[in-house]
Amino acid sequence: MSRPGAKHAKAEAMRVVRAMVEGAPPTAGSLLATAEPVLGEERAGRCAELVRRGALTRRAERLAAVAALTAGTREIGAGWWARPGPGGTPDEVLRGGDAADPAALETLAARIAEDVAEARWGPPAGQVDLNSWRAADRVPPPPGAEPGDRLVAAFDTGGRVDAVVVRRDDGSPGTELDFDSLRYSGPAEASWAWETALGLGPHRLPGEVPDPYAEAVDPEAAAILRSWALRHGATPAEVGEGWSTVGDVIAAVGAVDWMWRSGEWFGWWRAASALVEQDAKHLAARLEEILS
């Protein structure tokens, strides 16, 4: 299933990823090896442990968070890990005890993406929602602003856009968003690149034994979900020959690119996730939903 610009975006994302791992094959292992000298052995090991403990359907997002933390630490330095913030310093959030939620990685990735953006472009003068592409007066000009002044607005985690001060016909000051100025901080770009280039997986970690992707899945449920995908527009190449393992399902889910399809695919994704996570109760409920 092709989309305009998707091929270019993936190529650009892969360029960013390859630059990050300095030409090594782009894998979870090369990312963690790149992270270790930047984050330090203890932090990198903790990141790897949180990735390992999380759900396989979220592993790509957690690895993307490691990429963000690596890129951000490179840019603003290891002192960031001792900077106070919500929930404590980043080191305190990362350590978090044995019960720490693996989602802490994503929380820290968002935090460093914002901190790098602020260090690079200053505190934002406002927040804009780019689901609306209206340019006029999305950010109020401050007192004393002159035409041509540029204000920085936040629009996403680590994302910034300029609002240019203008003079309205009645003489009052206003602003116009300059959409050509859209940019992201390095950590936000690294996170996007990892997920875009490498997708859902499988993403095996170094020394991960037993291999969680080799675990068998319920064959009847797997056949139902694979057949459903084919009936609803996925190609045989996308869904693969058959689903016998968790890795087969993960690869197929990534290949069909369900988020760009019709809304009914969300139910399919929920069922596939339950299949991967071996959650029999939710799997039965999700299958009933999509087959009803």
Quick one: CA torsion of 47, 48, 52, 58, rounded to 10 degrees?
A: 60
pLDDT of residue 43: 96
Alpha helices in 58-162 (DSSP H): 59-76, 90-95, 104-121
**CA geometry: angle at 47 spanning 214 and 116, to 5°?**
130
H or E stretch covering 221 = helix 219-231
- Provide CB contacts within 8 A for 213, sequence distance 6+: 56, 201, 202, 204, 245, 246, 247, 250
pLDDT of residue 96: 84
Which part of the chain has CATH 2.40.240?
121-185
pLDDT tens per residue, the chain (292 residues)? 333 356 788 899 999 999 999 889 999 999 999 999 999 999 999 999 999 998 999 999 999 999 999 999 999 999 999 999 988 999 999 998 555 677 899 999 999 999 999 999 999 999 999 888 888 888 999 998 999 999 999 999 999 999 999 999 888 899 999 999 999 999 999 999 999 999 999 999 999 999 999 999 999 999 999 999 999 999 999 999 889 999 999 999 999 989 889 999 999 999 999 999 999 999 999 999 999 8
Looking at the whole model, is its pTM more than 0.85? Answer: yes
Query: Is residue 148 classed exposed, middle or buried when 0-12, 13-18 and 19+ CB atoms within 10 A define those classes?
Result: exposed
- Provide CB contacts within 8 A for 130, sequence distance 6+: 155, 156, 161
- DSSP class of 136: B
How many other C-beta atoms lie within 10 A of the C-beta of residue 76? 18
pLDDT of residue 99: 52
Selection from 190, 254, 258 nearest residue 229 by Cα: 258
pLDDT of residue 3: 37
CATH class for domain 121-185? Answer: mainly beta
